[in-house]
Chain A
Amino acid sequence: MLAALIFVLVAGGLLAWSAERWHRNLPRWIALVTAVIELKLAAWFWLQHKDAMDTVIVSAPGTWLAETMVAWIPRFGISFHLAMDGLSLLLVMLTAFLGLVSVACSWTEIRERTGFFYFNLLWTLAGAVGVFLALDLFLFFFFWELMLVPMYFMIAIWGHENRRYASIKFFIFTQGSGLLMLLAILALVFAHYRSSGILTFDYFDLMNTILAPSTAFWIMLGFFIPFAVKLPVVPFHTWLPDAHTEAPTAGSVILAGVMLKTGAYGLLRFVVPLFPEAALQFAPMAMALGAAGVLYGAFLAFAQTDLKRLIAYTSISHLGFVVLGVFAWNSWSLSGAVMQMIAHGISTGGLFVIAGLLQERTHTRDMDRLGGLWSITPRLAAMGLFFAIAALGLPGMGNFVGEFLILLGSYRISIGLTVAATLGFVGSVVYALALVQKTFHGENTHGWRLPDLSVREMTTLCAMAAVTVWLGLYPQPVLDAAAPALNGLRDIAAGQYQGDAE
């Protein structure tokens, strides 16, 4: 059943590609249907396992809601091992939802090679879903790399002016750092092989690898850096503003909403549970980087005049909170990190959709050339205001819950860094309001005459707004879904400590 989540997207992509020859509008319908099926499947899993999630099971394998395991490359002990817990489920739901959004927002934007576009879109989603479900390290890496290629094509073919540079930079950063992860995986596997004589890439087997502290630290770093590039953590972030700015709307939505989350997911699922001690040792450094990201992203954001670049920098700021939360590693901060991942995916996705709609209408992203749009496109402007406010973390929206929980959790670990990160809120208010101010308020000095939102666009944005409000006002279902999985991860890590202490 779990494999279906991936294969629906893979098959839909192939179908959409081949459908182009019959009619040029057919691919988008196929993509839409595929995304709806994917969302329904994910929702089915949610409902199916809601009862199971209510009862908190502590033992590690017990928190898994579903599992599939088939031998794949027996020579290396590699299997096609997928499993889903609450954390994966939430992220798969997010992926499916944003997939639907991105199909909807490409509806009229993409006019050329529609078949190949939707193929790439769906395959990127398939790769991301694979990443969220894979529990074999080789399989994980396989999906991790796989989602890059279609994303590369999306940027390189349908992107904006500077697409070639941005796409190659994106690919080299992520793929190059991916190789580092492959080395780290192999180092871990062979360390396990030397101590146990079994060659395996399975997550559960490798969890019990006994490593010398220095080895563990290096291998942990080998995992951390690729995830940090993807997330992105500050010194590794330079690909992100370019890629997000040049990508087509759907590409930006998926990049910000889904792909960045694979990095955060990797930290949660692999870095800390596999190397609890090394991660603990590294935590102050990582938290400092997270807090630096929060401030740096916020400060750079309000210096931008390019709308999409501004939004890209806000992502850096928001995901700095996630790093802070993950490495604080207590139940508040972890729940907050998960919440932040989901809320950020939707609010930033919403902002990118709005930027895309503006670009489609005005053919510019330069905020100095916009302004005064409120009078001619009130619905678009209102939606813009809504998502800007969501991004700045107003209470009642999902982002607030996430950031609040993260700060609550990290306060117990490091007061200084928490205070520093809190200063990021000031920055976020400035950039969010600057965005609204420059784009929508003021006089319409440039004489724009634009159509307001269509029904399709309005529906998309309203759905996203509704989810944001729901996350803000009633976050408990999400927290409940994530809690057993997070507790499981914490127990695994804690078990390691005890195991070593004995």
Chain B
Amino acid sequence: MDLINLYLIPGVVLGCIYALGAVGLSLIYGVLRFGHFAHGDVMTFGAYVTLSAVALLGLSPFAALPIAMLVTALLAILIDRLFYRPFRDRPTIVVVIASFGVALMLRSLVEIFWGADDRSYETGIRRPVTYFDTLVIAPRHVAIIIAAVALVTVLHVFLTRTRLGKAMRAVSDQPSLARVCGIDLDTVSLWAWVFGGALAAAAGVFLATDTQLNPNMGWNLLLPLFAAAILGGIGKPYGAIVGGLVIGLAEELSSFPLFSERPLVPPDYKTGVAFAIMVVMLLWRPQGLFRGRVFE
């Protein structure tokens, strides 16, 4: 039962957080064809907006989530207008470097407004709830998993049922053909930022609920986020969701003491697991796990 309670469920929770972050990376890459290195810091920003909403309005972090998602989506649109769109016709590396700059600016803004210390949404300890005698789950884990599933469902409905969502997938698939069809890149990219920003905010809030707030929390997650996006085939949102779950589970399960009393991989090296998966994927299948279903 320890395997499930202490490794599998935290792995799924971490996987949900990675999935919500990675899906935004993947959407943005699919539409604008660049790796958004400020995505982790957008997550951090969303988490801190929730901190203020909790403090000022007395809401619970989950009740404040819609506010944080909205504010962060607006921030993402603003960042795109100010720092990325001017470089749209320039080589990709220019806008990638711009996103590094944005990452540093966002982190500094968070430190200026909220300080550099660790913070948390609530004080005190909540007891985990025991189900079926042996299954022990913290209520916050249940909430994170349910909320993540709900958000991914909303994204799925957008991508498969709305004209704009289908257009977003079409642009990811074949940008030149999408243009011939008269699909407006500006509108599609706006919605990629809305979803990318809002889902990053949710990921940030879930991470902060699970652990705590810190100005570096999102930046530190950038590697597993990219690993997840690459695992699923960058530019493919569904791949990024699966990739996020796989990376999250792999990181947590890698410290399970399988053969002895000692963890398989020391917990300090968790991020190394994500990195190893990313490197293996880039060498073995740079197009991602799911290319097999789709050929060009």
* A and B bind: no
Measured CB to CB, the residues of B under 8 A from A are none
B-binding residues in A (CB < 8 A): none
